[in-house]
């Protein structure tokens, strides 16, 4: 999906024009991949724009940086404030948010010491990642020929730039096969996750998802769905999922900031359930969107209102679609 430019990007403490948010071609992370980032969404609500679980996302960014030895020059509170400042400055009610911390221009070589740590935050309108139709009818997935990176090779709990080469290969593999998305297995042959999503299945009324030890990122949408399921008294188990269990699922779906809650209707030609969004998937999806759009008081603590809890007059909505 092509980017839709907005007006300003926050970069190293300043708002600068979108078209001037550039880096040197010898930026360290551009060559070696040692950078960390987040994907966050802001939703339009009756109280104005609200960022979904903003503090949790920024804390995960901080944790990713610590895991790979990057010293962030800003605190969590400062970055939370910067995200809201960037949304306000761009007068946008609904958007995708990309904070990134990376080693900039300074040295060349594997040791990044001597390169500054730069931080940027961009926001732009972005629709449904796997398509509006996919949210309702489900998407077609395939088991990737690529395995998820083993935790002994790179840290899966860091949202690390370098890790996403693995995800890109899996995504392209799926698209080249005529599918919408991939599912990666780990080196033990169990389900790990999608290229940028966690995976859930339903069997005999029980909700299952792989444990983090399977190589899955500790997804914030994943955590939200688990908590919603528990609130609804849906039986839930975190366990390794075999390929046979995946094929035999009655329901399956992806979760992620980009994918939100997207049903899976087919995997490797195996129709999942009735080949459409299942009952439990639909119930969880509906509650998730209700929470994200401020329709459910029970989950209002997950929202960080850009103009405060009372809200202010909304700006003109800027929307985009896949």
What is the Cα–Cα distance from 279 to 261, expressed in whole angstroms?
13
What is the Cα–Cα distance from 305 to 83, expressed in whole angstroms?
11
Q: In sequence order, which residues have a C-beta less than 8 Å from that of residue 297 and are 6 or more positions away?
A: none
The HSE-up count of residue 141 (CA atoms within 13 Å, CB side) is 31
Residue 253 forms part of a structural domain: yes
**Which range of residues forms the domain containing residue 171?**
132-297
State whether 176 and 118 are in the same domain.
no
pLDDT at 312: 55
State whether 200 and 173 are in the same domain.
yes
pLDDT per position in the chain (322 positions), as tens? 689 999 999 999 999 999 999 999 999 999 999 999 999 999 999 999 999 999 999 999 999 999 999 999 999 999 999 999 999 999 999 999 999 999 999 999 999 999 999 999 999 999 999 988 999 999 999 999 999 999 999 999 999 999 999 999 999 999 999 999 999 999 999 999 999 999 999 999 999 999 999 999 999 999 999 999 999 999 999 999 999 999 999 999 999 999 999 999 999 999 999 999 999 999 999 999 999 999 999 999 999 999 986 555 444 443 333 3
pLDDT at 310: 57
Last residue of a domain, one of 127, 152, 187: 127
Residue 311 forms part of a structural domain: no
159 is catalytic: yes
Q: Kind and range of the H or E element at 84? A: helix 76-89
DSSP-assigned states of every residue in 211-248: -GGGT----HHHHHHHHHHHHTT--EEE----HHHHHT
State whether 150 and 260 are in the same domain.
yes
Task: State the CATH number of the domain containing residue 121.
Answer: 3.30.470.10
State whether 51 and 183 are in the same domain.
no
* Total number of residues shown for the chain: 322
State whether 165 and 286 are in the same domain.
yes
Let me know: does 3 contact 124? Beta carbons within 8 Å: yes
User: What is residue 148's three-state secondary structure?
Assistant: coil
Last residue of a domain, one of 99, 127, 155: 127
Total count of domains within the chain: 2
What is the Cα–Cα distance from 277 to 262, expressed in whole angstroms?
9
Last residue of a domain, one of 101, 127, 153: 127
Q: Name beta bridge partners: 182.
A: 142
Q: Which residue out of 14, 159, 171, 317 is catalytically annotated?
A: 159
Task: State the CATH number of the domain containing residue 264.
Answer: 3.20.10.10
State whether 184 and 115 are in the same domain.
no
Unique residue bearing structure tokens 């860091």? 158
State whether 94 and 145 are in the same domain.
no
State whether 69 and 154 are in the same domain.
no
């Amino acid at each position: 999906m092509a980017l839709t430019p907005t007006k300003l990007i926050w970069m190293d403490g300043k708002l600068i024009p979108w078209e001037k948010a550039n880096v040197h071609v010898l930026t360290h992370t551009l060559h070696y991949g040692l950078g960390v980032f987040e994907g966050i969404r802001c939703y339009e609500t009756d109280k104005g724009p609200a960022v979904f679980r903003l503090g949790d996302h920024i804390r995960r960014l901080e944790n990713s940086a610590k895991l790979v030895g990057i010293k962030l020059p800003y605190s969590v509170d400062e970055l939370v404030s910067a995200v809201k400042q960037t949304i306000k400055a761009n007068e946008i009610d609904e958007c995708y948010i990309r904070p990134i911390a990376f080693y900039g221009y300074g040295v060349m070589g594997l040791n990044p010491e001597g390169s500054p740590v730069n931080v940027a935050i961009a926001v732009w309108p972005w629709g449904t990642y796997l398509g509006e139709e996919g949210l309702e009818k489900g998407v077609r997935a395939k088991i990737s020929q690529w395995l998820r990176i083993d935790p002994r090779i790179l840290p899966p709990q860091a949202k690390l730039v370098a890790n996403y080469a693995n995800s890109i290969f899996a995504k392209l593999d799926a698209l080249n096969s005529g599918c919408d998305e991939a599912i990666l297995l780990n080196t033990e042959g169990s389900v790990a996750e999608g290229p940028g999503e966690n995976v859930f299945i339903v069997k005999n009324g029980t909700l299952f998802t792989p444990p983090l030890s399977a190589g899955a990122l500790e997804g914030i949408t994943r955590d939200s769905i688990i908590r919603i399921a528990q609130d609804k008294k849906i039986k839930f188990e975190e366990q390794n999922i075999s390929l046979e269990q995946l094929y035999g699922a009655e329901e399956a779906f992806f979760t992620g900031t980009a994918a939100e809650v997207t049903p899976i209707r087919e995997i490797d030609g195996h129709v999942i359930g009735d080949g459409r969004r299942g009952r439990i998937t639909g119930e969880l999806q509906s509650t998730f969107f209700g929470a994200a759009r401020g329709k459910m008081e029970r989950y209002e603590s997950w929202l960080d209102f850009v103009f405060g809890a009372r809200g202010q007059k909304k700006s003109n909505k800027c929307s985009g679609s896949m």
